[in-house]
Amino acid sequence: MLSLSGLRLRFGAAEIIAGIDLHIGAGELVVLLGPSGCGKTSLLRIAAGVERATAGRVENGFRRVAMVFQDPRLLPWADARDNAAFGLKAAGMGKAERRAIAEAILLRLGFSAGDLNKRPSQLSGGMMQRVAIARAFALSPDLVLMDEPFSALDVGLRHDLQALLRAEVEGAGAAVLFVTHDVTEAVRLADRIVVFSPRPACVVADVTQAPMLASVGAAYEASAALLRRPEIAAALAPPGVSPLALAGARERLSLAGKARAALR
């Protein structure tokens, strides 16, 4: 289990995190949903042990922690297979074994055999992000920290990768703490959605749900339902936009999504 208790963070005079209690159990996929700049990445960095909280306690019972970032951070001179095997090489595993593990994960994530030898400059953004995810899961992690890994991808690709990620997570039995500001992404992926307020961040909602990957229409509907909750609408409304206007706009989007899904 990862336990963050009474967590506070300040940078100089700026209060970033205003007191957060968050507990993540084994195998749980928890999405942190919050507006831009509210402190989500900072919380992930504290969980990873690369940032120190100003106050509070961090207890991490997970032993193998891996991270995935928005930018895939691949080695430009290494091919997809060697990039995905990078952590295993650093851990001292032999070449044949680590390349076999990396290859199996890449194929599960939608790589074709012909793409395994390609370098990052020959791969699309979606393929590079698959390599970054494979590099994390190759380590057999029990906790994966993911910081907006799909936010640079177009929506169709994002949907594909969300489904592949969920399958990989379930196969590995890993817990995941996944940061996003996209409500529909949260609804599609999460076992639990934790909503942060604008800075300084505190938790305004903690919603347990079943992930909704099966139907785009149902995910849009569930997103609209979340945004009808006043505390969630208020937390996610951009500055200067009334939460009610936002909920109305999301409702119209949901109807448009349903209409599109019906036409498929």
- Considering only residues 2, 7, 38, 189, which one is a binding residue for ligand ATP as defined by CB under 6 A? 38
Total interface residues for ligand ATP by CB under 6 A? 12
**What is the spatial distance between Cα 218 and Cα 220, in angstroms, rounded to a whole number?**
5
- Candidate segments 31-39, 80-88, 136-144, 252-260, binder of ligand ATP by CB under 6 A: 31-39
**What is the spatial distance between Cα 145 and Cα 136, in angstroms, rounded to a whole number?**
9
* Matching residue, tokens 């952590």: 87
Q: Which is nearer to ligand ATP, 9 or 80 (CB)?
A: 9
Residue 40 interacts with ligand ATP (CB under 6 A): yes or no:
yes
Residue 37 interacts with ligand ATP (CB under 6 A): yes or no:
yes
Residue 53 interacts with ligand ATP (CB under 6 A): yes or no:
no
Q: 3-state class of 30 per DSSP?
A: strand
Q: 3-state class of 129 per DSSP?
A: helix
Burial 199-208 (b: 16+ CB within 10 A, else e): bbbbbbeebe
Going residue by residue from 75 to 114, which x/- string records binding to ligand ATP, judged by CB under 6 A? ----------------------------------------
- Considering only residues 41, 60, 209, 215, which one is a binding residue for ligand ATP as defined by CB under 6 A? 41
- Candidate segments 32-40, 75-83, 160-168, 207-215, binder of ligand ATP by CB under 6 A: 32-40
Q: Are strands 14-24 and 175-180 parallel, antiparallel or unpaired?
A: unpaired
**DSSP secondary structure, 143-169, as one string:** EEEEESTTTTS-HHHHHHHHHHHHHHH
- Candidate segments 19-27, 30-38, 87-95, 232-240, binder of ligand ATP by CB under 6 A: 30-38
- Considering only residues 4, 16, 139, 183, which one is a binding residue for ligand ATP as defined by CB under 6 A? 16
Q: How far is the CB of 9 from ligand ATP (least distance, A)?
A: 8
CA nearest to 89, candidates 142, 27, 28, 135: 135
